Structure 1
Amino acid sequence: MSYAMFGSQRRGLGTRRLLLSLLLLAFWEAGSGQVHYSVLEEAKHGTFVGRIAQDLGLELAELVPRLFRVASKGRGDLLEVNLQNGILFVNSRIDREELCGRSAECSIHLEVIVDRPLQVFHVEVEVKDINDNPPVFSLREQKLFISESKQPDSHFPLEGASDADIGENALLTYRLTTNEYFSLELPTNSKQTKRLSLTLKKSLDREKTPELNLLLTAADGGKPELTGAVQLSVRVLDVNDNEPEFEQPEYKVRLMENAAKETFVIKLNATDPDEGVNGEITYSLTSIKPNRKPLFTLDENNGEVRVNGTLDYEENKFYEIEVQATDKGNPPMAGHCIVWVEILDVNDNAPEVTVTSLSLPVREDTQPSTIIALISVSDRDSGANGQVICSLTPNVPFKIMSTFKNYYSLVLDSALDRESVSVYKLVVTAQDGGSPSLSATASVSVEVADVNDNAPISTTRALDEADLPRQRLLVLVKDHGEPALTATATVLLSLVESGQAPKASSRASKGSAGTETALVDVNVYLIIAICAVSSLLVLTLLLYTALRCSAPPTEGACEQGKPRLVCSSAVGSWSYSQQRRPRVCSGEGPPKTDLMAFSPSLPPGLDSEVREEGQEVGSNHPGQACIKY
C-alpha cells in the first residue's frame, strides 16, 4: 500500500512538472512576441484559430484603448481578431494552393501592433493542406498507335495525372481496366510528375483486335481519396513495325529567366531504321507542364526547341516538355522523349520598401531606443538576389534594427534637440545581394515636437551711466511652459533730474509772498530686454517717466508725498505691499517726488530710515524686486 502511495506521489510530481514546463514554454513564447498557430485550408468563416490576446499576454480590456490591430501583407483579410474576446478566427476562404502553390511550407505571417506603449508581435499561422483537389489528366483521351509487330514486354509511355495538393494528398496511384493485352507499370524513380507506361503482355493481332478502349484511373492518397480518369484509345497498326527513337529518353537544359523570344533551347534528334517514308520523321510537342502555356516552340522538321514566351523564375522554376517523333509510314509510328528545362534566377526584381509611421511627431525628450516607425522590405528574387540589406541616412540620431526576417524598426539612437534640428529628412535604402545589385528607397520625414526644456534668458542695460544715485532691481522672468522655467536679472536704476539741480533761491513771480512753485522734471529710463522664451522671442521695453508735480509748500515745512510700493515675488506672482509716506525735502524749493528702486536687501541709508520711521517697506523676503514711485 505504501508503495502504491509512493508511486502515486511520483506520478503527481511528474504531472506538475509537465504542467510547469508547458506554462513556462507558453510564457516564453508570449514574451518573445512570436506565436505559432495552424489552421486547415478551406476552413469555414468563424473557425477558431487561437486565443491571440491571451497568448501574447494582453488583457482583453486593453485591446481597444491600446489600438490593437493586425496586419497581414498581401494576405487580405483571411484572418481576423475579435476584440471582445481576443480570439483569432478565419474571416474568409483560405486556399493553400492559391497562397503557396506546391510549396511544402505555407504560412500566413501576422504583425500584431498595440500602442501606448508601442509593442509589436509576430504571429505565424500555418495553413495545413486538405485533400480538396482531385487528380487531373491534361487530356480527356489519349491515343496510342501500336504496331502489331510489337513484341511482348514492349513499353508505351502514358501521360500521368497531376494533383495540386501536397504530401499524401498528392501521392497518386493508378488502376487500369482489366484486359488481356496490357498491364500498367508504375514509375520506379521519383519524378516531379508521375509517369506511367503500358506493358504489352502478348502480341497484338490487328485482324482480330484492331482497336482497344481502356480506362486509366488515378487516385490520390487523401482520406477520403479523390480520383480522376482518362480514356485510352489503342489503335493496332500494321506493316510499319519500327518506330522513331531518340538518342536518349530524357534531356536536361538550363535557361536564364527573361530569355528573349526565339532563344535556342535544344536540338532533338530521332532516328527510324525503316526505309522510305516509314523512316521520315516529323517532330511535335505533346505537352508542356506545369501550365501548358505555349512558352516553347518546336521545329517539326529539324527538332529545334526555342523560347516562345516570357520565362519567369518567380512563377515557375522547372518545365517538362514532352516531344513526339512520328514517322510517315502507313500507319505512322511514334517515339517519345522528355526535355527538362530548369530556369535560373536573374536579379530582375528591385526590393520593395514599406514604411509605417507609428509615433510622429517625436517629442524632443523621447528616450533613446524608442521605436519611431516600422519598415518592411521584400524582394521576389531568390538566393542572394533576394537577400535584402536595409540602411539609413548617415549622421542622424536614428538607427535601423532588424526585428523579424525582412522586418525592421526605426529606432531613436540618441537624444533630440528641437532647437538645433526641428525636422529630419531620412532616407531608408533597401539593397539586394544580386550582381549587379538593385535597390529601392523610401523617404521618412520625422518632425521633432518641442518640449519646455530651455529657461528664459534675460538681458538688462542701463541707459545712463552718469554718477547719479543708483539702486539695483531684481527682475524675475517666467515662461508659460509645462513645467514653467524661470530666470532672473539685476537691473541698475539711475535717478536723473532734468534741468538744473535745485538751488537755494528759485525764480519768483510778481505778487508772490515767498518762492514760487518750481517745476522739477525727473526722468528715469529703464529698458529691460527679455529674450529666448521657448521658440517665441519677446522683447519688452519698459519706460517709466517721473510725474511732474508741483505744490506751494509752507515755508520751512516738508510735505509728505504718497508713494506706494509694488513688489515682484521670485515665484512669479505680483503682490501689493504696505504704503509709507517718506519726507522728501529740498532747502528752499518745493518738495519733489522721486522714483526709487531697491533690491530685497535694503541699501544703506534706506534701512536706517525705515527703522527710524518704524514702518515696513515692502516684503523683505529674498528674491523680491521692489519699485517705489
Structure 2
Amino acid sequence: MGERRCAAVRVLVLQAAWALAGGQVRYSVPEEAEAGTVVGRLAQDLGLEAGEAEARRLRLVAQGRRASVELSGASGALLLSSRLDREQLCAKSAPCALRLEVLLERPLRVFHVELEVTDINDNAPVFPAQRKNLSIAESSLPGSRFPLEGASDADIGANAQLSYTLSPSEHFSLDLHRSEEYRESLFLVLTKPLDRETIPVHRLVLTASDGGRPSLTGTMELLISVLDANDNAPQFNQSVYKVQLPENATEGTLVARVNATDADLGSNGEVTYSVSNTFPEKGTNVFLLNPRTGEINLAGTVDYEDIRSYEIQIEATDKGTPPLSGHCKVVLEVVDVNDNAPEVWVTSLSVPVAEDASVGTVVAVLSVSDRDSGANGRVRCWVWPASPFGLEATFAGSYSLVLREALDRERVSEYELEVRAEDGGAPALRASRGLRVPVSDVNDNAPAFAQAVYTVLARENNAAGAELARLWARDPDEAGNGRVSYSVWEGGVAGGGAALPPSSSSSWSGPGWRPASSYVSVDAESGLLWALQPLDYEELQVLQFEVRAVDAGEPPLCGNATVQLFVLDENDNAPALLPPAGSAPEAGPVPAEAAAAAGSGTLWAWAAWGAPAGQVVAKIRAVDADSGYNAWLRYELWEPRAKGPFRVGLYSGEVSTARALDEADGPRHTLLIVVGAPRPPARAATAPRRGARLEAAEAALAAAAASSSSAASASSSSRAAVGAELAPGAASAATNVWLVVAICAVSSLFLLALVLYAASRWAPRAAVLSAPGPTTLVCASEVGSWSYSQRHSRSLCVADGAAKSDLMVFSPNFPPPPPGPAAKDTQPEPSALLHTVSAAALFALIFSPFAPSVSFPNLLLLLARLRSLSLRAMGA
C-alpha cells in the first residue's frame, strides 16, 4: 500500500508541474483517502519561496463541497480535511474533478487548482432485488429469451465492468449483450424444453462480478416457475424505442406509445403493459404508463442539468394461463432548454479604491457559471457603466474587475456598478450582480480663492477689530484634505505710507518697514479679515499683501490671493495756518506788538490811505493734511460782518481792499478770518487779523506834502511804502510772463484737444486705464472726484455703473518756504502760481493715460475757465 502511494505521489507531482506550465495546477487523489492526506505542495508548485505563502496570504476560496479540502497557511500544502467519496461527489461522471480557486493577495492573483478524485473499487455490484420471480410456460421453445435486470455498480471504469455467471443448470444459460450506445442487456436463455411435471420450480443464483482488483461480487436468486398452456408471448413491434423530450415539457405531455401483439386468441391474446424497471430510479414517479394503451405520459418534471437520459423497461403480459410476456426498452433523451440564467458571484472585493490608483488595478474577482450546456451555457459578461472599470477574463468562468481610467473623487465619489451576464440561448437569459465601489480621497487639490485679487475699501479711524472683508478658498477634497486654514503671508509698508508689493516687502530691510500683519489679521478658520489697529489715511493709503490658504492634507497644498486694502480719507485734520511768506529785512521795522503776536495766530499788515480797490494787502496761507475735498480750503471773513473796506478771496486767501481807503475808515481794523473745508463736517482754524495801523506822517507823505523837519522820517516811510508796493510790482511782472505763456499753451492745448477728441471718436477706448505697474485704481464713486493736493494724488477710475462727468481742480496747499531770505523779484504771486499749476495740471491731464476718460465738454469748460482767469490776472 505504501509503494502504491509513493507512485501515486510521483505521478501527482509530474501532473502538477505539467499543469503549472499551462497556467493551471492539477492534482489527483484517490477516493476514501484519510483526512490530512497531503494532496500537493501548492505553494512550491506556484513558485513561492518558503514562508512566502503565509506572508502573501495564500488562501483557498471554498464553495460548497470544496470545504473537504483545506490549505495549510504555514507550509502552503493542500490537505484533505475529510474523506472524499467519488460516488457521492460525481456519481457516474468521469472524470471526477473539483475546481478550486486559490487567492494570493499582496498583490492579488487568482490561481485555479483542479483536484481529480480517482475511483477505487469500493462498491460491490448490487441487484435491484435479492430475489427475482419468473414464470415460464412449459411450452416455451428452446432459445426463448427472458430479460433479467442487471446489477449496478457505483464505481466507474474497470471497477464498474460487470460480468455475470449463473449457477449450473441444464435448462438455462445467460446471454449478455453490450453496446457503446446503450446499457448492457442481460437475458436468461432457455436451452432445453421445460417439463413442469418433472421440475415445477427452478432455483438459480445469478452472480455479478466487477472488474476491480480484487473483484467484488453481488448475487440475486432466480425463482423460475414453470407454467402450463399459453405458449405465445406478446411481441413488441420494436425492441428499443428512442424518444427525445425537451426539459421544459409540461406535465401530461405524451412521451411515447408502445405496442405489443399476441398471436393467441381470447384472454391469451389480451395484452396489458407495465413498467418492469426504470433507470435511474428517480424516473419511477416521473413517467406514467397507461396499462391498456401503452401510452407513456409525463407525470412530473425533467431537468437536463439533473438527469440527461432515462431507460424504461416495459413488459407486455397477456391474460393466458399461464400469462406470457414480452419486453421492450424505451430510451428517453432529455433535450436541453435554456432555462437556467447565468449566476454571478463576487469572490473578492478590494474597496475603497484610492483616487490615484493606477490603471490596471484589480478591484474585484468574480465567478460566472451557467448550468445549461452548449450555446445555452456559453456566458458573455460585461460591466455597466462601461467606464472607468472593465472586465478581464482570467480563467474559464472567472473574471477580474480592473480599473481602466483614472479616478477623480471630486467628480465621482462612489460608483454603483452592475456586472451583467448573458448566455447564448434563444431567447438569452441574463443575470446581474451589483457592486458598490467607493473612492477614497487623496490630497490632489490645492485651495483656490474665488478671486485672484481682492479689493477692500476701509475708512480711516476705524475701530480696532473691525471686520474688513471675508475671504473664502474652496478645496474640493474631503476631511483633512479639504480643511483650509488662512494666514497673512506677505506685504508691508515702508516708512512713508506707500504699500509695498509682496515681492518688495519680502526683501525690504529698511528700519521703517512694517509688515502687513501689524495692521490686519485673518481668522485661520473662517477667513475673516479684520483690522488690528485704527488706520490712518495720512500714514497709509494702500496696503497690498497676500493671504495664504493651506489645507490639512499630507503633504499640504496651498493657494494665494492678493488683497489690496485702500484706506479712504476722512476729514479728521483741521487746517493749519502757515507763517507769512517770509519777511525780508528791507520790509522795514516790525512793531513790537506785531512781533509779540507773530506766534499767536494774529498777523499784521499795513495799507496806505488812498490805496485803490482790489489792492492785495496780505495773503493767508494754510494747509490741510487731508486730501481731496477734505483738503479744499475756503477763506471767509467773519468779522466785521458789515460791509468793510477789506475783503478775502474765497479760495485764494488774499486780503484786498474792497474800496479806496480814506481817513474816515480809521487807523486800525481787526479782521477775523475763518479757514475751513467746503463741506461738513469741516474743522475750521480761525486767523484773526489785526488792521493796518497808519500814522499821520505816513498819510501826509502819501499825499505828497511834508516839511523839512520830518524829511528823514518821511523818507524812511516812503521807502517802506514803496517797498510794500515794489514787491507786488515785481510779482506782477513775473506773473504777466507766465500768463502770456499760459495763454499760448492754452490756445495750443485747445487745438490739440480738438484733434485728440476727433481721434478718440475713432480709436477703441480701454475699459480701465492705469499707469504702468501694478497700481490699482480707485473709482470716483468711492472717494470723490479727481483731485490734486499738496501731498497726495489719486488716479481717476470710471466705473461702468457710476460714472462721474465732473472734473474739479482744487487749489494746492503749498508747504512753507524754506528758511532764509527770498528774493522778492523772483517770488511769484500765489495767484500766479495757482494759474501756473492749473495749466501744468491741465497739460498733464490731457497727455496722461486718463485723458480719454475726461468728457470733452468739461475739457472745454476747463480751458475757458483757465483763459478767463489768465485774462483777469493780466487786467489786474
Query: Is the 2:20–2:26 Cα contact (8 Å) retained in structure 1?
Result: no
Counterpart of 1:114 (choices 75, 96, 104) is 104
Query: Is the 1:30–1:55 Cα contact (8 Å) retained in structure 2?
Result: yes
Equivalence for 2:125: 135
Quote the offset at 1:245 in angstroms. 0.7
- TM-score normalised by L of structure 2: 0.53
Paired with 1:181 and 1:213, the residues of 2 have a C-alpha distance of: 11
- The aligned amino acid for 2:171 is Y
- The aligned amino acid for 1:304 is E
Q: C-alpha deviations, 1:566-597, integer Å up to 9, x for none? A: xxxxxxxxxxxxxxxxxxxxx9xxxxxxxxxx
Q: C-alpha deviations, 1:20-76, integer Å up to 9, x for none? A: xx9999788657752111111121100110011111123343334433221133324
Equivalence for 2:231: 241
Paired with 1:222 and 1:31, the residues of 2 have a C-alpha distance of: 34
Equivalence for 2:545: 473
- Pair 1:417 & 2:408 matched: yes
Corresponding residue SS for 2:89:
helix
Percent of aligned positions that are identical: 51
- The aligned amino acid for 1:53 is A
Query: Is the 1:258–1:311 Cα contact (8 Å) retained in structure 2?
Result: yes
Structure 1 23/176 Cα, relative in aligned 2: closer, same or farther at 3 Å?
A: closer
Structure 1 24/271 Cα, relative in aligned 2: closer, same or farther at 3 Å?
A: closer
Quote the offset at 1:325 in angstroms. 0.8
Equivalence for 1:462: 455
Q: C-alpha deviations, 1:81-131, integer Å up to 9, x for none? A: 111211111011222122222111221111111222212111111111111
Paired with 1:68 and 1:371, the residues of 2 have a C-alpha distance of: 17
- Pair 1:486 & 2:558 matched: yes
More strand as a share of residues: 1
Equivalence for 1:353: 344
- Pair 1:229 & 2:301 matched: no
**1:31-430 maps to which residues of 2 (within 5 A)?**
34-292=24-282, 293-430=284-421
Structure 1 272/30 Cα, relative in aligned 2: closer, same or farther at 3 Å?
A: closer
Query: Is the 1:33–1:56 Cα contact (8 Å) retained in structure 2?
Result: no
Paired with 1:494 and 1:296, the residues of 2 have a C-alpha distance of: 100
Q: C-alpha deviations, 1:492-521, integer Å up to 9, x for none? A: 344555443575369xxxxxx999xxxx99
Query: Is the 1:79–1:91 Cα contact (8 Å) retained in structure 2?
Result: yes
- The aligned amino acid for 2:443 is N
- The aligned amino acid for 2:39 is V
Structure 1 69/424 Cα, relative in aligned 2: closer, same or farther at 3 Å?
A: same
- The aligned amino acid for 1:420 is R
| Long gaps (5+) in structure 1 | 1-21, 507-512, 522-586, 588-629
Quote the offset at 1:261 in angstroms. 1.9
- The aligned amino acid for 2:60 is V
Paired with 1:514 and 1:402, the residues of 2 have a C-alpha distance of: 104
- The aligned amino acid for 1:385 is N
- The aligned amino acid for 1:297 is L
| Long gaps (5+) in structure 2 | 1-11, 460-497, 499-539, 579-598, 602-624, 627-789, 791-876
Equivalence for 1:500: 572
Corresponding residue SS for 1:258:
coil
Q: C-alpha deviations, 1:257-280, integer Å up to 9, x for none? A: 132222111221111111221111
Structure 1 505/108 Cα, relative in aligned 2: closer, same or farther at 3 Å?
A: farther
More helix as a share of residues: 2
Paired with 1:80 and 1:430, the residues of 2 have a C-alpha distance of: 30
- The aligned amino acid for 2:225 is R
Query: Is the 1:288–1:294 Cα contact (8 Å) retained in structure 2?
Result: no
Query: Is the 2:66–2:98 Cα contact (8 Å) retained in structure 1?
Result: no
- The aligned amino acid for 1:490 is T
Query: Is the 2:145–2:190 Cα contact (8 Å) retained in structure 1?
Result: yes
Structure 1 306/154 Cα, relative in aligned 2: closer, same or farther at 3 Å?
A: same
Corresponding residue SS for 2:151:
coil
Paired with 2:115 and 2:88, the residues of 1 have a C-alpha distance of: 16
Quote the offset at 1:478 in angstroms. 2.9
Quote the offset at 1:188 in angstroms. 4.1
Equivalence for 2:870: none
- The aligned amino acid for 2:385 is P
Q: RCO (CA 8 Å, sep 6+): is it higher in 1 or 2?
A: 1
Structure 1 290/514 Cα, relative in aligned 2: closer, same or farther at 3 Å?
A: farther
Quote the offset at 1:193 in angstroms. 2.6
Paired with 2:246 and 2:43, the residues of 1 have a C-alpha distance of: 47
Query: Is the 1:72–1:108 Cα contact (8 Å) retained in structure 2?
Result: no
Paired with 1:353 and 1:79, the residues of 2 have a C-alpha distance of: 23
Paired with 1:163 and 1:71, the residues of 2 have a C-alpha distance of: 33
Q: C-alpha deviations, 1:129-175, integer Å up to 9, x for none? A: 11122211112212222222222222222111111211111111111
**1:518-529 maps to which residues of 2 (within 5 A)?**
none
Corresponding residue SS for 2:101:
strand
**Number of residues paired by the alignment?**
492
Deviates more, 1:393-402 or 1:319-328: 393-402
Query: Is the 2:385–2:418 Cα contact (8 Å) retained in structure 1?
Result: no
Q: C-alpha deviations, 1:509-553, integer Å up to 9, x for none? A: xxxx999xxxx99xxxxxxxxxxxxxxxxxxxxxxxxxxxxxxxx
Query: Is the 1:314–1:381 Cα contact (8 Å) retained in structure 2?
Result: yes
Equivalence for 2:856: none
- The aligned amino acid for 2:406 is A
Equivalence for 2:512: none
Paired with 1:442 and 1:188, the residues of 2 have a C-alpha distance of: 49
